Chain A
Amino acid sequence: MHKTWVLIKTMLKMQYSKAGGNSSQIWLLAIVIIFSIPLLALYIGILQNLISELYNVLQPLGQDSIIPGLLFLSIHMLLFLISLITVISAFYFAEDIESFIPFPLKAYQLLLGKAASPFLYLYLTSGAFFLPAFFIYGMVSDASLIFYFYGIILFILLPIIPFTVASILLMIVMRFVNIAKNKDRSKVLAGIFSLAFIIFINVVIRLNTNSNEMMADLAKFIQEKDGLLQMATSFYPPALFSTRALNETASSEGFLFFLLMIGLSLGAFFLFIWLGELFYLKGVLGLGSGNKRKISQKKMKKQITARPVWLAYIQKEIRIILRTPTFLMQCVIQSLFGPIFILILLMLDTANLSGFMNLFSEKHSILMLFIATLLILGGNATSISSISREGKSWHANLFLPLATKQIFYSKILTAWLINLLSIILILIIFIWLLHVPGEMIIIWLILALVANWFTSSLGTYLDFLKPKLNWTDEQEIFKARMIAFIALLLEAGIFGIIVLILWNIGVLEGLYTTSFILFLCLMAAIFTVQLLLNKKIKANEHQHI
């Protein structure tokens, strides 16, 4: 037990240490907090309204239990999704496991050490989504003290089941992936496959729900007490048990459900350890090693080509992103999530949404399309890892005969190119699903390409301010760094205000005028970032990182 604890502490320290860090993180944190307060108030307000409205409608019908029911159901789903991503990253993509394997430790101890960081994320997530809703529901329903006691324990148990299900799934998949020859590629494929699987399940469930039938069911279930809860959680007992425990705090039945939930979580935990002992090391050992093959004279001749320096540099950047599983996940796959998510929503409800654009004036439409695109582009991690990705190779940029500006502009261009994928995906959605008129698409496309340059250069500049080069594992670049959040906050903050102003100015109408103003603002923003970047380059700051 002691060893496991030491291992957990060491692994967490490695991931979140501020080695080579600095104090300016503190003022960044302060800014983040100040910016977040109004958002937080808004969030709690909306939640409060929603829950009390729902409660007032459902309580007289005896169906109020559906509120915690849905809450548990959605939190479990969310935690499951997050588990998939964090588990595959922590258990399999992070190569620091190799430094722990020679120690006399059992597989389950390594697993528990590795699970610590994903668990922190899960608690943060459930803390942000579950706790406020739980307390509001408690207040609205005038709950007893036991309700809060049960709730807190259930909160502690929350991540265990989704995490276990996700990691067991992945451990089994990876056990077989490890047989494959090209480890890097199969690791990535396994990651993509797992995500595609979720999306597929999601679509199947949605497509199978016939709304007429559902209304008939609904009418039936609503007749009996807690009928809605039974219907919604019938395929997922943990949500049902948790809800029953909370809703029947007064009776012994509630206590039984509470015990059942504790038992279920404990069972899941031991199942995780047992299967981990069986599968984990077999799946992870040798995962970092590659395959060897001889090169033929002909192939070698073909590989040697002379290209201009900037092209060679960008090619190098893109190769490294595509070949490093962590970079591929963070920079490419995750950034496609936003558009894919919209795509799924739209596919399910095309009939209603194709007319969606007609609801708004041209001016309001372009403003909405613009800000949504900016958010998706700003969420991309390529630019904010431009320099940090280099790690120990960064010095090569300094001793090779490369102009500093060229290095930075090539990096910005790389981020821009990766973001083109998202833009193309959004473009497809706009044309085929939203039926956005051609004229507006062209204007949107111009704005998106320029906005892409803005987010790419701002991200690169922010990474330049505080790069993390001394990582031992690629994961560290993306964790415990607020840079992604700050980049998004700056982008969404500045352009959010601009869009809000343009939205409300009555004098300003029309697609062209609005777009032109947006274009000018973007140019000004790009100009400012370039100016800042050039200033730092001129001061030779790149030699100081």
Chain B
Amino acid sequence: MIEIKNVTKDFPGNNKAIDSLNLTIPDGKIVGFLGPNGAGKSTTIKMMTGILPLDSGSITLNGFDIEKNALEAKRIFGYVPDQPDMFLRLKGIEYLNFIGDIFEVPKEIRAERIETLTKQFNIYDALDDYIQTFSHGMRQKIIVTGVLIHDPDIWILDEPLTGLDPKSSYMLKEMMRDHAAKGNTVFFSSHGLEVVEQLCDEVAIINKGRLIFYGNIDELRDEYHTDQSLEKVFLELTDDA
């Protein structure tokens, strides 16, 4: 479970990038995080993962405060950033091994998971190449694999499906469902509304740093008395007018 309580974040020149945000992401559910560009999605995710400090409020992951118990909190989530361009000078296998070392995954488990996952994602044969030579989608896959080898309780994914081919995209979605079905937390941001519609149990919509809706899609339609597509609802909701 992720609990975001009264979180505020200011950037110089941008008043209240996040404005007293309250959000609880329960176990066993896939929660989609929506909002127009610049709404504060990435800022929220960066605060959840310890990349950005909070100005006020608190965020806890399975009870561990990301600021006060940073290491404990970081051990239980896996994060896929929106830009997979990391550690480009390492080989695929070296990157996975590095992540395995940091999360102290035992050698045998590590070997088995690396083999299964990379074969599923169809990047096994490329493991001995530098990540720099990978395409965007392959980089995305290696980062997702890195998250999965330490089998975290909470998944935080920033635009995880961007750049994935249909097969890998389908696989990742299945994995997300399985993970949530086991009682774990999956939180992901996306611009693809149809993905959100078919995959998410609940959605959180944010605009200008404020949460404007939280609930499931039916509730969203009920609240706005419409049977329009999610796209229309989203456009109306986040419209400035």
Residues of A within 8 A of B (CB): 184, 288-295, 299-301, 303-309, 311-313, 315-316, 319-320, 323-324, 392-393, 395-396, 398-403, 540, 543-544
Contact = CB atoms under 8 A, between A and B. Distances in A.
Contacts of B100: 304, 306
A294 B101 contact: no
A312 B87 contact: no
Given A290-B129, A393-B87, A295 B101 contact: no
Nearest to B127: A295
A461 B88 CA distance: 25
A306 B89 contact: no
B102 A399 contact: no
Interface string B138-160: 00000000000000000000000
Contacts of A309: 101-102, 104
A396 B107 CA distance: 22
Contact of B110 (A288, A304, A403): A304
Q: How large is the interface on B (under 10, 10 to 19, 20 to 34, 35 or more residues)?
A: 35 or more
Nearest to B93: A303
Contact of B87 (A292, A308, A316, A544): A316
Given A303-B93, A309-B101, A323-B89, A294 B125 contact: yes
A543 B132 contact: no
A299 B103 CA distance: 23
Nearest to A324: B89
A534 to B, nearest CB: 16
Interface string B35-73: 000000000001001111100000000000000000100
Contacts of B126: 292
B93 A396 contact: no
A521 B236 CA distance: 68
Interface stretch (B26-34, B75-83, B223-231): B75-83
B94 A290 contact: no
10 contacts: A290-B129, A290-B132, A295-B124, A295-B127, A300-B93, A300-B115, A300-B127, A395-B86, A399-B51, A401-B75
Contacts of B51: 395, 398-399, 543
Given A300-B115, A400-B102, A544 B53 contact: yes
Given A303-B93, A540-B53, A396 B87 contact: yes
Interface string B107-127: 100110011000000001111
A290 B92 CA distance: 13
Nearest to A395: B51
Given A289-B133, A303-B93, A544-B53, A401 B71 contact: yes
Contact of B86 (A184, A392, A402, A544): A392
Contact of A320 (B90, B103, B115, B129): B90
Contacts of A392: 83, 85-86
A306 B106 CA distance: 7
Contact of B107 (A304, A320, A401, A544): A304
B74 interface: yes
Contacts of B81: 395-396, 399
A312 B98 contact: yes
B41 to A, nearest CB: 16
Max chain B C-beta neighbours (<10 A), residue from A288, A290, A399: A399
